[in-house]
Structure 1
Amino acid sequence: MAYTKAAKVLGMNQVYKLADNIKRYSLRDVGFIESKNGKFQLERSLDPRMPINQSFKFKMVVQNDLHNFKMATVTANGLKEVNIFKANDAEKKITQLEYIIKDLQEHNILVIEEK
């Protein structure tokens, strides 16, 4: 998964990009962790009833220049991208994913890319 200016989650039709006015403190406010090399990473469980290390999760990484990013839904160990739209109990996972993305939009981190 490469860093790009626009990205979408596997199985989802909507494409997102980083907001033009994105701020580092906004990333920290919603739970992004800054790494030693300056990248910001967010991991959220798609099943709030289970620990993050036991369920599919949403993962997003923003480069330190705040221009490129990548996002995906991945397995519990974070190594393989998965299509949650085809998973068992997909409705709950999709609802949680939509909630996470909506929160990122409300904090001016993600915006819908115009075609």
Structure 2
Amino acid sequence: MAYVEQLKIKGDTRTYKLSADIKKYTLRDVGFVESKSGKFQLERSLDPNSPFNKGLKFKLVITASLKAFKMLTTSANGLNEVNIYKSVDADTHIEQLNYILEQLEQRQILEKID
């Protein structure tokens, strides 16, 4: 998946873009890890009971320039993109995804495009 300026998570109807007010220190505060190349990556479990269980994951990677990103939900090993809207326990995964996205919006990392 290529880095883009706006996108939808597979199966979702909402479109997101990076906030114009995004800051590197905010990314670090939220839990993003900075790579050697300067990219910021956040990986969160979509299991509401335990973040340590092997389950579906939410991944968000932002380029070093803070201009483009990729965001997806993946299988437990992180290699395959998954449509959580068609998964077993979809309601709990969607609820957890919505919580994560809401937090990213509140911290001015993502913006929803209507």
The answer to whether the 8 A contact 2:75-2:81 is kept is yes
The answer to whether the 8 A contact 1:52-1:76 is kept is no
Q: Partner amino acid for 1:45?
A: S
Equivalent in the alignment of 1:85: 85
Count of matched residue positions in the alignment of Structure 1 and Structure 2: 114
1:24-35 alignment to 2 at 5 Å? 24-35=24-35
- In 2, distance between residues paired with 1:105 and 1:29? 14
3-state secondary structure, aligned to 2:49: coil
| Unmatched 5+ stretches in structure 1 | none
State the 1:112 CA deviation: 1.1
| Unmatched 5+ stretches in structure 2 | none
**CA root-mean-square deviation:** 1.1
- In 2, distance between residues paired with 1:83 and 1:92? 13
Moved over 6 A (4+): none
Give the TM-score taking structure 1 as reference length: 0.95
Q: 1:52 to 1:61 in 2, by over 3 A?
A: farther
Matched, 1:55 2:60: no
State the 1:7 CA deviation: 1.3
- In 1, distance between residues paired with 2:14 and 2:51? 27
1:41-83 deviation digits (Å, cap 9, x = unpaired): 0000000324446100000000000000000000011100000
The answer to whether the 8 A contact 2:43-2:58 is kept is yes
3-state secondary structure, aligned to 1:54: coil
Percent identity of equivalent pairs: 54
Give the TM-score taking structure 2 as reference length: 0.96
- In 1, distance between residues paired with 2:34 and 2:53? 20
